[in-house]
Structure 1
Amino acid sequence: MDKSVNKNILFESFSGRATPLQKKLIEQWLLEPQNREQYYEWLDEWENQFIQILPNTEDALQKSLQKIAQNEAYLTPISVEPTPNFFQHNFRWLAAAAVVLLISFGVFIARDYIFYKRYQTAFGEIQKIQLPDGSQVSLNANSALKVARFGFGTKTREVFLTGEASFSVKHTIDNQRFTVKTDKNFEVEVLGTEFNVYARQKEAKVVLNKGKVQLNYLVGKATKQLTMKPGDLVTFNPIGQAKVQQIAQPQNYSAWQEHRFVFEQTPLKEVATMIYENFGVKIEFRDEALSQRTISGTFHAENADELLQVISELLEINFNRQDNNVTFFE
């Protein structure tokens, strides 16, 4: 780390008192990726020591109204006597509210970036992540995971998942709970275990390989809880109701970590959804009956083309691909 930039210089910068030379040094210092984590840590420390500068919505409102009033000649046609209507009567308040909303939104986005580290995978990409507490995460394709930058493993063990991921959670001496939150009205709470969470647009489900987890979920406005045991598969319907079933090989649901795809009498329509979610390739069927044909077996595929070829040869059907659009036909 460049010793020319230290905590005192950054604190001066956060307070708005840095000199032009110091600002230039900080800019150059931040070009090094390893310095950015230190920057966020010292920013968090500074915010905890000093009163934060939050958006003054009242001041913003008054300034906006004054500016609008000063420019009313440009906002109102001079040659025509306008007929009062709701929009004109409330224009000042709407404009001021928009200003306040934009300020608040900007502050929210900035704080979210500062306090959380985001992992994102593209179509066809799988990412291995080791969290600060020693827990392991495999993030499937087309997924995102958000983790607190500061205090993870001591103050909190919450992560936010969109898409699909497998977790191997490390047990802590103080029995601190590990929570996976989703935007599908459910969360998974554990101590130490291995499980797979699937929270995509069309479906949500959790599979427990070993250990014990508790699901907290919403059905309407009611909060419910469910304790899973190894081998349990819990699926959620569109209104949030949970269905539990015992499966013989829960590890098959996380086979994607090794680029393996396991099918057990799976309709091609469901396979098509899986291919789209993982590789971004949209599949259509020339005949609806074709979409109901099933496939079984375990197949290794690094990309969509490999999997499409396997399906074509196994079922003796044809496909035509144009960019990311595929049509199956007999």
Structure 2
Amino acid sequence: MSKHLPDYSTFSVTDFVLDHHFVQWVQNPSAHDIFFWEDWLRQHPDKQKILADARLLVNHVRFEKDYNSQENIDETWEVLSAKFDEQKPVVPNVFFNARFFMRFAATVAAVGITAGFVWYQVTGSPASYLYKTGNGEVATFKLSDSSEVTLNANSQLKVTMRQGWNASREASLEGEAFFIIKKQKSHTSFTVHTSNVDVNVLGTEFNVSDRRDLSTVVLQSGQIKISNTIGRVHEMLMKPGDLAAFADTSSSFRIRLVNPENYNSWIHKKLVFDHTSISDVAHMLEDNYGFSVVISKPALAKRTFSATLPSNSLPILLKALEESFNLNITQLDKKLTITDK
């Protein structure tokens, strides 16, 4: 090997794939090559994953001059898919999707390996992560861009990150989540999609709920732009303290000023009820804890009250609701029946 080698410690997967010495080690190594790279790996154990990915790509995206027939493209795709399935790690609730990149690499076989990896570096193969919570479960996750998301119970969030010139950060939410989004030097926006609303941010803190065909956004700090995805599109800028709600049957956003702390109190293991109806409390018990709730009388469903109650213990919460509302709450498996005392 040449004495004038680049600083491999700064190399990305693409840099390794396009490096002649690295490719030679992978495809036709000499004794000196083997000694050099094994010694380099011992000195840089944090680079093992990057080198493994680069070796995989060098070995399985290598095209001959006439390698542009559909048969060969399909064969390459099958090899890549099988290899990816063998090596992908198993991580609970977090999934990486590289299949689109592999299909692209197989399809552009006639162009050659260099163009394929320039595409990988410039556009960035998207990485997708899936986060979930169950009944009564609240969990906080740190995203790869250092942003932080806290998921309320019975919620699901899929986050897709793309690097390169068309960098983007997108998340699809079912349920409820509180976001603390870190502003990026590249000014890459972060977009949250619900069933009927898109929330576009740069760096801010806000709560999003997508339950029962109703999307609600409450802004705590910073500034965000929201738009509906159903019917005639409306866009608006939100200021701290704004609550914006959009239902499937809505023609526009409903806006009002609120105390944001009342809407993100669940991340602090408490629930704030402010002139809340028993009907809305029943919906919360169904959405967050998976209960089926029966209210004995229609008039009872309209009764309202205000209180701050703990949410980290279901028995304590139910007892507190009984005392605060002057109710009897009877539980049978996953069914709750609410009656007057």
TM-score, normalised via structure 2 length = 0.66
Aligned amino acid, residue 227 of structure 1: L
Give 5+ residue unaligned stretches, structure 1.
54-113
2:333 is aligned to 323
2:167 is aligned to 155
Would the aligned equivalents of 2:161 and 2:170 in 1 still touch at CA under 8 Å?
Answer: no
Are 2:292 and 1:282 aligned? yes
**Deviations 1:261-308 (Å, cap 9, x if unpaired)?**
000111111111011110011211222222222221111122433211
Distance 1:118 1:204 in 2: 20
Aligned amino acid, residue 289 of structure 2: F
Q: How does 1:1-330 map to 2 (within 5 A)?
A: 7-9=54-56, 11-12=59-60, 15=76, 27=86, 30=88, 33=91, 46-51=102-107, 116-148=128-160, 150-151=162-163, 155-184=167-196, 186-218=197-229, 220=231, 222-240=232-250, 241-247=252-258, 249-330=259-340
Distance 2:291 2:221 in 1: 33
Would the aligned equivalents of 1:283 and 1:328 in 2 still touch at CA under 8 Å?
Answer: yes
Distance 1:32 1:236 in 2: 37
After superposition, the Cα gap between the structure-2 partners of 1:25 and 1:214, relative to the gap in structure 1 and judged at 3 Å, is closer
Would the aligned equivalents of 2:297 and 2:339 in 1 still touch at CA under 8 Å?
Answer: yes
**Deviations 1:42-86 (Å, cap 9, x if unpaired)?**
x56544433179xxxxxxxxxxxxxxxxxxxxxxxxxxxxxxxxx
Deviation at 1:238, TM superposition (A): 3.7
1:157 is paired with a residue whose SS is: strand
Aligned amino acid, residue 318 of structure 2: L
Aligned amino acid, residue 258 of structure 1: H
After superposition, the Cα gap between the structure-2 partners of 1:4 and 1:130, relative to the gap in structure 1 and judged at 3 Å, is closer
2:119 is aligned to none
Distance 1:47 1:149 in 2: 19
After superposition, the Cα gap between the structure-2 partners of 1:25 and 1:312, relative to the gap in structure 1 and judged at 3 Å, is closer
Aligned amino acid, residue 50 of structure 1: A
Distance 1:212 1:4 in 2: 41
* RMSD value, Cα: 3.3
Would the aligned equivalents of 1:133 and 1:153 in 2 still touch at CA under 8 Å?
Answer: no
Distance 2:152 2:140 in 1: 9
Deviation at 1:139, TM superposition (A): 1.1
Deviation at 1:252, TM superposition (A): 1.4
After superposition, the Cα gap between the structure-2 partners of 1:150 and 1:176, relative to the gap in structure 1 and judged at 3 Å, is closer
Distance 2:171 2:91 in 1: 23
User: Identity over aligned residues, as a percent?
Assistant: 30
Distance 2:51 2:128 in 1: 27
After superposition, the Cα gap between the structure-2 partners of 1:231 and 1:51, relative to the gap in structure 1 and judged at 3 Å, is same
Distance 2:49 2:198 in 1: 42
Would the aligned equivalents of 2:77 and 2:103 in 1 still touch at CA under 8 Å?
Answer: no
2:264 is paired with a residue whose SS is: helix
2:279 is paired with a residue whose SS is: helix
Give 5+ residue unaligned stretches, structure 2.
1-47, 62-74, 110-125
